[in-house]
Chain A
Amino acid sequence: MSGGSRYDEERLGVLLRRLTPAPPGWVQAAQELPASRRSLDEIVARAEADLAFRAALVGDLEAALAQEGYEPDVRAIAELRERYGDR
């Protein structure tokens, strides 16, 4: 490498080391966001249209979701709890 280069081996090494991989689970969760949002939207739409389902969500959110076969992730559950929980 030439001495005058801004990007000598040492500098390139430092910069390449800066961007280490994020934990795979974090990346996967972020990649699954669209599916998670679709599931959330579906639950909300159903709760708006189906008063019994909405009442079940308000009564016991996680049990109502499980009973209907929904498996939303933690963030979706938190959002649903904000809408329907702890009334």
Chain B
Amino acid sequence: MATTLTDSQLVQRCREGDPNAWNELVERFSRYVYAICIQGFRLPEPDAEDVFQEVFTRVYSRLDTLRDDSAVRPWIAQLTRRLCLDTLASSSRVQPSEDVLASVQEEALDDIDEAFAVREALAALPGSCQEVLDRFFARDESYRTISAELDLPAGTIASRISRCLVQLRERLEGRNEASEPSSE
């Protein structure tokens, strides 16, 4: 898609049966769901895969029940959390105490929500920034690999990462200032 759709627009297009929109929705939230399963709830990969597929199955089949299209992210988060908890409860391999489960998960889950906001801000940066930051941080590629893939000198990669991080921070702080509620 040439332009980035809002979550509401994306949900609407999915309801209309646009296959590209569904692909985009899965792409947009796949890392988020994966992170909740693997980092938030520390599910083993096979269980995480089952939850991952079940989340998107339910999203697809229940999209008509979503009352507020802009709330698709928290809805997906809630679905994922519930399915992860069900999986943990039904698994004889993993039986953490409720207290430990609650404290460890909430911290990680908060971080994942914040990480999603950072990725949304990243999506607003130039493509060159998106690519280099995603490769270096999310895909854990080395300077050498990125340099070879993008056909750029390694020194340029380092300076681009630094410059793009500044842009990302400015984007996030600008957005935070704009969206902060008034002090009244």
Contact = CB atoms under 8 A, between A and B. Distances in A.
A19 B119 contact: yes
A16 B134 CA distance: 7
Interface in B25-66: 26-27, 30-35, 39, 49, 52-53, 56-57, 60-61
Interface stretch (B1-9, B81-89, B91-99, B163-171): B163-171
B169 to A, nearest CB: 5
Interface string B171-183: 0110010000000
Given A12-B118, A26-B49, A75-B57, A20 B35 contact: yes
Residue in A1, A15, A23, A75 with the greatest tally of chain B CB atoms within 10 Å: A15
On chain B, which size bracket covers the interface?
A: 35 or more
Contacts of A19: 31-32, 35, 112, 115-116, 119, 138
A23 B35 CA distance: 11
B118 A22 contact: no
A31 B26 contact: yes
B53 A75 contact: yes
Interface in B123-175: 133-134, 137-140, 162, 165-166, 168-169, 172-173
In the complex, the 9 A-B pairs of residues with the closest C-beta atoms, listed nearest first:
A16-B137, A18-B115, A22-B34, A30-B56, A19-B31, A15-B115, A22-B30, A15-B118, A7-B169
Interface of B: 17, 19, 22-23, 26-27, 30-35, 39, 49, 52-53, 56-57, 60-61, 111-112, 114-116, 118-119, 122, 133-134, 137-140, 162, 165-166, 168-169, 172-173, 176
